[in-house]
Amino acid sequence: MIRHLPVLFFALTAQAAAALTPHDAHLLEQAAELGHLKARDALHAAAQRHDAEGQLAYGVYLLNRHDYSHAALWIRKAAEQGLPLAQEFLGVMYHVGAGVPRNLARAQEWFEKSAQQGNANAQFNLVLFYAKGAGVPQNYAQAAAWCRKAAEEGDASAQFYLGMLYARGTGVPQDAAAAAAWLAKSAAQGNAQAQYNLGVLYAQGLGVAQNPAQAAVWYRKAAEQGVADAQARLALLYAEGRGVAQDYAQAARWYRAAAEQDVAVAQISLGVFYAYGVGLAADNVRAYKWLALGKAAVPPNSDTYRLAEQTLSRVAGSMPAAQLATARYEAAAWSAARRQDAR
């Protein structure tokens, strides 16, 4: 892209009063970031002659150099000229307090100006503001209204959020079919949480015909993106042979992935697999480790707790004292490392 800069510099020199296009402003901003002084000077000159795209791009350049106060000055000028992206940027700056005092009400004002012009990012920011009551009174109906606008603009996060609003009946009438439709749009764009929740709907037959095979398809897509609950549910499908061919090795693989992310049910299932050598080689130390970790995190007297307790007792009873000490140490060390990572 940088190879086009000489032509762009010539055009700017030949027609200094010409307004920058968003593309040209972006090119200059990228070049300025790489240290091209002519690009920086061209952006500054455009900003000084009240070119809105130039003001925004020069503001972004300053923002990336952590000169927040001057960045806010130029971005505000572009926002006041009605540039939707500048209005969104200024809203974000008020939200986090970068270059301006943190002020959620002002952030909401600028997001709304941008959203009214069809900016999907600003629309979705308003969704979060109204849902949380940030800078405005909490209002789920308003959150849903802005969410629909952003979703209709094709924003995958908004489509997911709108699907969940319909699933829960929050701000809109509860409607499983509408939930499935919006989750499907988001899932098709690669949104992992939408993929997981769409899998749940197919598994339960909510808003769509019950279809374990389709549930497995969407669980897998989410699982491959690291969604722990999807990994655990996919493992269960493999263990039971629902929607997929029964495959204990695959079940063990996905239980392990979810267990490593601290999903208690997956930890217990993985422990049971290790205890009985299902889908992998039997290993009492690993069985004890995962069973102990999972048991500590599930409700006492639940079926899952009783399964963990019974299997744990069986495993511990067959282990020499030294091996049992090793297993207990590994469980404690894993738990401590997990707590450290969470800080």
Please report which confidence band the pLDDT of residue 3 belongs to, taking 50, 70 and 90 as the band edges: very low
Domain boundaries, position 213: 155-255
Is residue 16 scored above 60 in pLDDT?
A: no
Answer with the residue of higher pLDDT: 343 or 304.
304
225 φ, ψ to 5°? -95, 5
Please report which confidence band the pLDDT of residue 17 belongs to, taking 50, 70 and 90 as the band edges: low
Q: Are 278 and 228 members of one domain?
A: no
Is residue 290 scored above 90 in pLDDT?
A: yes
Residue 185, in any domain of the structure: yes
> How many percent of the chain have pLDDT more than 70?
95
Most distant CA pair in the chain: distance in Å? 87
**Alpha helices, DSSP H, located in 81-170:** 84-96, 104-115, 120-132, 140-152, 156-168
Q: Are 168 and 251 members of one domain?
A: yes
Q: Are 237 and 307 members of one domain?
A: no
Residue 82, in any domain of the structure: no
> Helix, strand, coil: what percent of the chain each, to 5?
75, 0, 25
Give pLDDT tens digits for 223-271. Answer: 999 999 999 999 999 999 999 999 999 999 999 999 999 999 999 999 9
Mean pLDDT (the chain, rounded)? 94
Residue-level pLDDT at 281: 97
Number of domains in the chain: 2
Find out whether 88 and 121 touch, Cβ atoms under 8 Å: yes
Cα 316 to its chain centre, rounded Å, is 40
Q: Are 187 and 251 members of one domain?
A: yes
Please report which confidence band the pLDDT of residue 15 belongs to, taking 50, 70 and 90 as the band edges: very low
Q: Are 209 and 290 members of one domain?
A: no
Please report which confidence band the pLDDT of residue 161 belongs to, taking 50, 70 and 90 as the band edges: very high
Final residue belonging to a domain, choices 212, 227, 255: 255
Predicted structure pTM score: 0.84
Give pLDDT tens digits for 41-89. Answer: 999 999 999 999 999 999 999 999 999 999 999 999 999 999 999 999 9
